[in-house]
Chains A and B, each alone.
Chain A
Amino acid sequence: DTAVSQTPKYLVTQMGNDKSIKCEQNLGHDTMYWYKQDSKKFLKIMFSYNNKELIINETVPNRFSPKSPDKAHLNLHINSLELGDSAVYFCASSQFGLAGREQYFGPGTRLTVT
């Protein structure tokens, strides 16, 4: 019973295409995140939604647009894909307000832009 799931796990596409990655969590959390792990292995936050409201928006090209239809889902749409978008994208969730600030991660989506 997967807590945070992402689809697809692998995505290979050409430059200029538009693609989406989906994320779902069944932990009952109210906050979800998108992280990017680039070729240098750094995990960097991109966006965060709390109760469907955008609360963190790092310096990310506006070709990236997150959408949260409900608390359990956070999707990432990427327009006009570029070579530099190749990375592993991780979704995560947490419960805002708890004493701990642990975030629970999905398995990742490896995006390759050719």
Chain B
Amino acid sequence: DQQVKQNSPSLSVQEGRISILNCDYTNSMFDYFLWYKKYPAEGPTFLISISSIKDKNEDGRFTVFLNKSAKHLSLHIVPSQPGDSAVYFCAASVGSNYKLTFGKGTLLTVNP
């Protein structure tokens, strides 16, 4: 039972353009969402997060948008750089339970 879904296994964009990674969830109890980036043979690295009381959070080139009614969030990377090429995981948690539920990840390739 996948509560967090990333339906695009891969995404390819040109350097300098916008990358949009999508994530859907089914559990309406989720109230905190995170994005992680993962390079091969390394652990996931925290990128950006958003609480369910917000609909947008921005950090430099990275912006996360949350649409609670659609149970959908997205990560925008502008402008995309070749160093952004990695697997991006969406994760969600409920209240004070710090268990993170992860999506399957999307492989982003940014072409020079």
A interface list, Cβ under 8 A from B:
4, 31, 33, 40-45, 48, 56, 58, 90, 92, 94, 96, 100-108
Contact = CB atoms under 8 A, between A and B. Distances in A.
B102 A43 contact: yes
Interface residues of B, number: 21
A42 B102 contact: yes
A76 B9 CA distance: 31
Contacts of A103: 46, 98, 100
A107 B43 contact: yes
Interface in B92-107: 93, 97-102, 104-105
Contacts of A101: 32, 34, 49, 93, 98, 100
A73 B19 CA distance: 38
A101 B89 CA distance: 15
Contacts of A107: 41-43
B7 to A, nearest CB: 14
Interface in B71-91: 87, 89
Closest 4 pairs between A and B when the two form their complex, measured CB to CB: A105-B43, A43-B102, A102-B46, A105-B44
